[in-house]
Amino acid sequence: MNALVIAPQWIGDAVMTEPLLRRLRARGERLTVGALPWVAPVYRAMPQVEDIIEFPFQHGGLQFKARHGIARQIQGRFETAYILPNSLKSALLPFLASIPKRVGYLGEARVGLLTHRLKNPKDKPPMVAFYSALSGEKEGLENDRPRLQLPAAQIGAALDAAGLRAGAYYAFAPGAEYGPAKRWPALHYAELARRLDRPVVLLGSAKEADLCQEIAGAAGQGQCLNLAGKTPLLQAFALIAAARAAVSNDSGLMHVAAAFGVPQVAVFGSSSPLHTPPLNDKAQVLWLKQDAGYQPPLDCAPCFQRECPLGHTRCLYDITPGRVLAAVDAARQ
């Protein structure tokens, strides 16, 4: 059976869908993923995906004409569609393509666009279980973990292009698309880089190039290689997969590192690891809200704000580079 999967629009959410796709493929469904261009590379690291359609859509707006055009192109190709986002527009394309079975959660008045509707749970479960429930299966949803894979040759090519050796560097992903209340301070990253026993590769989007350059400059000459905005996303994935360990904020690349099983440290500030932790046995999570010895207690966390509403961002500034260094060592044991 041929199935179309409409992917979420964020990298971290896309990683969380891998166990669902693994379940669907295991029962014989041939999977094509429809994804926005900045998310599509995640699905190229999932061997169970047969094909990818990159959608030319932008943030916001219904963009009915573009969706109708793609729907006409794919009409008759799929028996089932799994609509992972909860938006009206994400369900529109499978409806216009007349895909007979259309599975998704209720939301945004899209009852008529879906043939198989799941109610949104009152207490939102972990993201993996939330997406995997769309398979219709009920067993093992809570314990599954995302897994990404790349061929060894592809990882080797990425290392050669960057002039690196596997395991001979640390990967830092210091950005966070949501805002500064999720970003561990640049000077903390720089001090950590100075104290590590190997060089550091800085990864991120072009928007984060200046942030990474600030870290590289403060860390000292030769300690950091700033590749933010200079590598395609799939190449950045390969460099994370081959790293000695990864350090990041709560971000999409945090989930990528977890899915490759890399030793990692994840620093949380305004968000909560209770909902979106890195699902990785080799992960160390630092969140002062859970630190009983931290005084005074962080009653304000998690605030889920883009910027600290109190102006101090203690939840991040008070996590010292020394503490993260100790967590890196623990992650690698």
Q: In the sheet that 224-226 helps form, which strands lie side by side, from edge to edge?
A: 224-226, 200-202, 170-173, 245-249, 264-267, 283-286
- The reported pLDDT for the residue numbered 249 is 96
CB count in 10 Å sphere of residue 87: 16
What sections of 84-185 are H helices per DSSP?
88-96, 127-132, 152-162
Closest among 283, 280, 285 to 269, alpha carbons compared: 285
pTM of the model: 0.94
The architecture (CATH level 2) of 2-135 comes to 3-Layer(aba) Sandwich (3.40)
Cis geometry, peptide bond prior to residue 296 (ω within 30 degrees of 0): yes
- The reported pLDDT for the residue numbered 296 is 85
- List the chain domain ranges: 2-135, 152-332
DSSP state of 123: S
User: pLDDT tens digits, the chain, 333 residues: what are they?
Assistant: 999 999 999 999 999 999 999 999 999 999 999 999 999 999 999 999 999 999 998 776 778 888 999 999 999 999 999 999 999 999 999 999 999 999 999 987 888 999 999 998 887 778 999 999 999 988 777 778 999 999 999 999 999 999 999 999 999 999 987 778 899 999 999 999 999 999 999 999 999 999 999 999 999 999 999 999 999 999 999 999 999 999 999 999 999 999 999 999 999 999 999 888 999 999 999 999 988 888 888 889 899 999 988 888 999 999 999 999 999 999 999
- CA 267, CA 249: separation in Å to the nearest integer? 5
- The answer for residues whose C-beta is within 8 angstroms of residue 218's C-beta and 6 or more apart is 186, 187, 190, 191
Q: Do domains 2-135 and 152-332 have the same CATH topology?
A: yes
Closest among 43, 44, 58 to 6, alpha carbons compared: 43
Cis geometry, peptide bond prior to residue 302 (ω within 30 degrees of 0): yes
- The reported pLDDT for the residue numbered 172 is 98
Classify domain 152-332 at the CATH superfamily level: Glycogen Phosphorylase B; (3.40.50.2000)
